[in-house]
Amino acid sequence: MATPEFSPKGLKLIELYEQMADQGYERGDGKKVESAYNDFELKKFRDHVATYIKTPYIKSVLDYGCGGSNWEAPDFDPKTGRSAKEYFDLENVYYYEPARDMDERQKVDCVTNFDVMEHIFVSDVPAVLRDICSYAKQMVIINVACYDAAARLPNGENAHITVRKPQWWKGVLDMISIEYPHLNMVLFCSTGYNKVVSFNVWRAQNWQDSEKFVTKL
């Protein structure tokens, strides 16, 4: 299975993230975190995401850059105790996490990507976004953190290596979406742990089908 063509720095970063997943990491305040990247980042956005996934045509999902997420585990929804797979009424969930040697990439109805892109070296962002889109039949849902992380890489740098404003990410994804005009694109950017900037869902084909030339956010 083909992988994105990472730059030399991108490949080195994967090695650093593998080290963090295996050995833990240090925070900026000097504290050591033993269990790295095991949070189910999508969980706190479950109600927002349900708006898009809970539809008759979304039955399979690829969690791209899944970390330690487990869509089968109970209590994803504290009110009902249901797992993420049950909560979103899905039939199949697949995982991709290069830092943990997990690769189940295949064509699915929807690809989700949470708390990943800010960890990608800026030169590799287009290749990774194209890889994400290439596995989606219907929809791509991306959440990007637009702020510095508490975690530090083994070399001491901040673990969020590509911190940009939400409009920057929207512009980059606009350009990539033109190559995948049939996909519904969902982007919301975290400007703080509990602060989110959302963009209207778009589909590049609609720009061509419209009688207007002007497109707005």
The answer for residues whose C-beta is within 8 angstroms of residue 117's C-beta and 6 or more apart is 125, 128, 129, 142, 144, 162, 169
Across 24-135, the runs of DSSP E, i.e. the strands, are 25-26, 32-33, 60-64, 92-97, 102-103, 108-114
Cβ-contact 208, 198 below 8 angstroms:
no
* 119 occurs within a structural domain: yes
How does residue 188 score in pLDDT terms, banded at 50, 70 and 90?
Answer: very high
Residue span of the structural domain in which 197 resides: 8-209
CA–CA distance, 87 with 85 (Å, rounded to integer): 6
* 1 occurs within a structural domain: no
Cβ-contact 203, 185 below 8 angstroms:
yes
Cβ-contact 109, 61 below 8 angstroms:
yes
* pLDDT tens for each residue of 190-199: 998 889 999 9
* pLDDT tens for each residue of 50-78: 999 999 999 999 999 998 899 999 999 99
Q: Which of 14-23, 31-40, 156-165, 168-177 has the lowest mean pLDDT?
A: 31-40
Across 19-122, the runs of DSSP E, i.e. the strands, are 25-26, 32-33, 60-64, 92-97, 102-103, 108-114
* Residue 35, pLDDT score: 72
Question: What is the overall mean pLDDT for the chain?
Answer: 92
* 66 occurs within a structural domain: yes
The answer for residues whose C-beta is within 8 angstroms of residue 47's C-beta and 6 or more apart is none
Mean pLDDT within 121-140: 97
Mean pLDDT within 40-49: 90
Angle at Cα 27 formed by Cα 24 and Cα 33, nearest 5°?
30
- H/E stretch holding 138 reads strand 136-145
* 216 occurs within a structural domain: no
- The larger pLDDT score, comparing residue 187 to residue 18, is at 187
Number of structural domains in the chain: 1
* Residue 31, pLDDT score: 85
* 214 occurs within a structural domain: no
User: In this structure, what CATH number is given to the domain that contains residue 173?
Assistant: 3.40.50
CA–CA distance, 62 with 57 (Å, rounded to integer): 15
* 149 occurs within a structural domain: yes
Cα-Cα-Cα-Cα dihedral of 196, 167, 146, 127, to 10°?
Answer: 120
* 2 occurs within a structural domain: no
How does residue 2 score in pLDDT terms, banded at 50, 70 and 90?
Answer: low
* Residue 74, pLDDT score: 94
